[in-house]
Amino acid sequence: MTAWREPVGDLWLTGRVLGPEDFPTVRALHHQSLVGQPPGLVNPETDAFLADHLGALGLTLGVFGGDGVLVAYAILGLPTAEAAYNFGRVVGVADLGRVAHLDGVAVAPAWRGRGLHRGLVTRRLTLAAEAGRRVVVATIAPLNRPSLRTALGAGLRVRAVHPMFASRALRFLVVRDLEGEPMLETTQPLRLPLGATEALHERLVQGWRGYALDEAADHLLLATERAGDGS
Ligand SMILES: CC(C)(COP(=O)(O)OP(=O)(O)OC[C@H]1O[C@@H](n2cnc3c(N)ncnc32)[C@H](O)[C@@H]1OP(=O)(O)O)[C@@H](O)C(=O)NCCC(=O)NCCS
């Protein structure tokens, strides 16, 4: 898949896999997406990170408006098993060569809330599988509700909370095994505030998994695996 038509409401936008020549526009949209965000919510990417993911280290998807302006990008990281930057290590994935990252994403403010991110998550899961990757990992700030909601809606589960990146900011490690996640026992979920990171950490290390947000998007719902479900 190098180009596609992306439905947004009544419109059809154009999507394609971006290349090194798109670096200035990706960089500009990234910096625009940081404006007005509470500190620590979105990780500022280095130029090297963006350039590497327009090249050998992954795939960067872009969606363009009718005027040819980039309105969204989303990065799929395809790290090597040896790479220091392989989130699989943080969550104990045995085969690090089969890890893919849902890395940085930005949607231009005027285009938010129309499902672009949801579509770009689905597309990256498909591309990860096509690249032979099995475990998809995203890092999301605990209070980044739109991002978290989209990831959980796409079947990823909060597996850990851990200090990440140069800033050592706390991030949820949100994971999906594309070959199947164990069934969860969701009849009596545990509800913990998104900001209660110590309590969340305690539960996550005990094997609880965050699988949804409550209606107000203030609490994470957690459950344990169903007994006997080894899938
Ligand atoms: C996060 C971001 C990429 C979302 O893009 P988007 O295209 O507006 O997201 P979508 O329209 O696909 O919405 C995705 C979900 O988030 C929900 N959502 C959107 N804004 C929300 C908000 N302020 N609070 C709670 N949920 C929200 C939507 O209802 C939707 O949920 P649903 O699928 O259950 O209906 C966009 O807001 C953005 O660029 N933010 C700045 C950069 C950033 O935060 N990057 C992510 C770092 S991990």
Q: What is the pLDDT of residues 28-37, one digit of tens each?
A: 999 999 999 9
Distance 118 CA to ligand 1 centre (A): 8
Closest residue CA from atom 9 of ligand 1: 117
Closest residue CA from atom 17 of ligand 1: 146
Asked whether residue 216 is assigned to any structural domain, the reply reads no
Distance 155 CA to ligand 1 centre (A): 16
How many angstroms separate the CA atoms of 11 and 132, rounded?
Answer: 32
Q: For residue range 108-121, what is the model confidence (pLDDT) as tens digits?
A: 999 999 999 999 99
Domains held by the chain: number: 1
Q: For residue range 57-105, what is the model confidence (pLDDT) as tens digits?
A: 999 999 999 999 999 999 999 999 999 999 999 999 999 999 999 999 9
Q: Which domain holds residue 174?
A: 3-181
Classified as helix, coil or strand, 219 is strand
Closest residue CA from atom 18 of ligand 1: 146
Q: For residue range 168-219, what is the model confidence (pLDDT) as tens digits?
A: 999 999 999 999 999 999 999 999 999 999 999 999 999 999 999 999 999 9
Work out the pLDDT band at 8, boundaries 50, 70, 90.
very high
Asked whether residue 11 is assigned to any structural domain, the reply reads yes
Q: Which residues contact 174 (CB under 8 A, 6 or more apart)?
A: 137, 138, 139, 140, 148, 151, 152, 156, 157, 158, 159, 210
Note the pLDDT of residue 138: 98
Atom of ligand 1 minimally distant from the CA of 147: 1
Asked whether residue 67 is assigned to any structural domain, the reply reads yes
Asked whether residue 37 is assigned to any structural domain, the reply reads yes
Asked whether residue 195 is assigned to any structural domain, the reply reads no
Closest residue CA from atom 33 of ligand 1: 150
Note the pLDDT of residue 230: 54
Pocket lining for ligand 1, CB < 6 angstroms: 33, 42, 105-107, 112-118, 140, 144-147, 149-150, 153, 217
Residue 54, domain CATH: 3.40.630.30
**Alpha-carbon dihedral angle through residues 41, 220, 198, 87, given to the nearest 10 degrees:** -60
Distance 145 CA to ligand 1 centre (A): 7
Asked whether residue 190 is assigned to any structural domain, the reply reads no
